[in-house]
Structure 1
Amino acid sequence: MNTPSPSATGSISSSESDIQNQERYAIYFALPTDHPVYRLATLWLGYDVCTGRHIEDFEKTVYHRDLDDLANFSTNPKKYGFHATLKAPFRLQSGKNIEELESALEAFSKNFRAFKCKPLKIKKIDKFLALMPVKSCKKLNALASECVTTFEDFRAPNTEVERARRHPENLTPNQIELLDKWGYPYVMDEFRFHMTLSNRLKKEDVKVVRKCLKQLFRSFLGKSFHVDQICLFHQSSYHEPFKLVKRYPLEG
């Protein structure tokens, strides 16, 4: 018998509620805080994931006056901050602790050299807009795959509710296999490096939000960027925003 999802029952079990209150970690790429793209993206999202500071006074309509409140288009990425996922958010496996994770990240970062990536552009991925390299980067893909496999021992298995949040009914067979093996469907051959800037958008909103983002980042689109560090992020519970814990320079 299939276990009903929270949406079907209208509530969640006490055990699932406990899991939602557990802290999570994630391994991300994040630009330095003094990088102009990071500063602009932080203003756009209204949240600085590196300091945990919320920014409420940025008037986004200055970039496109056809929209009254562009903040409504970035509520989901605001929670996660401006980043690119290397290993998706996970709860720590029983028997593992943060000190061991940090030590493993320290060792891992010494085995990779910094590298340059292709220029960035605003692209639509699924139904949201993100900053992505104009072409796929082999070194970046390899780094992401290594993050997924190396730190898998730290990841607690997904619960049924956590798995359901990935909407397996909308995934391909390959993505479902990856979800069940690694806890996330967009890894390995399904990985596409991206730094999310919007919620999933209605078709009629994509054009105007894209225009706004192109104007905001116009000075930096088409320029290459460096991947010279990976970052550990922390979330105190499922409903709280993420925050930077530490940066690990790639020193291999």
Structure 2
Amino acid sequence: MRAALYFTPSRDSDLTLAAAEWLGRDPFTGESVVSDVSGSDGLVDAPRRYGFHGTLKAPFALADGKSLEQLEQAAAEFAASRCRFTVPELALGRLGSFFALVPARPCDALNAFAGDVVRHFEPFRAPLSDKDLERRRKSRLSPRQDALLCEWGYPYVFEEFRFHMTLTGSVPAEQFDDVEELLKTSFAAFTGKPLPIDALAVFVETEPGAAFQVQSRHLLVSAETEE
């Protein structure tokens, strides 16, 4: 089993529903969703399996002596100690050969929150296996990214972190324009708008290759409550 710490909107939010329709799967229930979006089939296999999310702490096996119940309790306590905040504007972005929803401009609060999650939950992460290291290193990591991988189990943390909510796998170059237009239409209600970051979610992969599913979602504290 592997766990991950992600941000995902609430189960009934319009963004969750739109993403479930695009990807063809609801990560809260694990159920398939019938989609009328043409042209996306075959391009969403990877993000469909991982579920709609933004990575905060990438999937990891639990360390010896740590349980899923302990992780969920720690997530609840952590969320109760952090205030909600908002990404001012969401945009459709292309990262290499795939598309994702991303902040339209850097968001210091989001970057700091992600860094806190990485550090706080590190005791729950089992060391990477040699096989895991080899797989990650196929991505032609920079020396800094390789050092982060060895220390934190993931190369894209801290200054290398780029928040994104993945919508496609690798898109062939000849399909870029068509897929981009489909995504612009499907997510027009959300781009150019703020994205509230209001919770920390625990996702679980029960066995290798299984689809990730929301195990629990823990609300951050509202600013009004904090006062």
Partner of residue 19 from structure 2, selected from 41, 48, 63: 41
How far does residue 168 in structure 1 lie from its aligned partner after superposition?
Answer: 4.4
> In the aligned structure 1, how far is the partner of 2:97 from the partner of 2:145?
17
Name 1:25's counterpart in structure 2.
3
Matched to 1:59, the amino acid is D
Share of identical aligned residues, percent? 37
Cα deviation per residue 1:140-178 (whole Å; 9 max; x = unaligned)?
Answer: 111110111111110001111112222345111111111
Cα deviation per residue 1:214-251 (whole Å; 9 max; x = unaligned)?
Answer: 01111221011110111011111121001111111112
SS in 2 for 1:89: strand
Partner of residue 59 from structure 1, selected from 27, 30, 36: 36
Cα deviation per residue 1:4-51 (whole Å; 9 max; x = unaligned)?
Answer: xxxxxxxxxxxxxxxxxxx00000000112221111110110111011
Name 1:18's counterpart in structure 2.
none
| Structure 1 segments unaligned to the other structure (5+ residues) | 1-22, 62-66
Partner of residue 179 from structure 2, selected from 200, 209, 233: 209
Alignment of 1:66-145 (within 5 A): 67=39, 70-145=40-115
| Structure 2 segments unaligned to the other structure (5+ residues) | none
SS in 2 for 1:105: helix
Name 2:28's counterpart in structure 1.
50
Q: Max radius of gyration: which structure?
A: 1
> In the aligned structure 2, how far is the partner of 1:138 from the partner of 1:184?
20
Contact persistence 1:168–1:176 (CA under 8 A)? no
TM-score, normalised with respect to structure 1: 0.85
Cα deviation per residue 1:86-144 (whole Å; 9 max; x = unaligned)?
Answer: 00000000111122212211221122100111211110112210000101111111111
Could you list the runs of 4 or more consecutive aligned residues of structure 1 that deviate by over 3 angstroms after TM superposition? Answer: none
Alignment of 1:210-229 (within 5 A): 210-229=180-199
Name 1:246's counterpart in structure 2.
216
TM-score, normalised with respect to structure 2: 0.94
Q: Give the CA RMSD over aligned residues.
A: 1.2
Single out whichever of 122-131 and 200-209 deviates more from structure 2: 200-209
Change (3 A) 1:169 1:32: closer
Length, aligned pairs only? 222
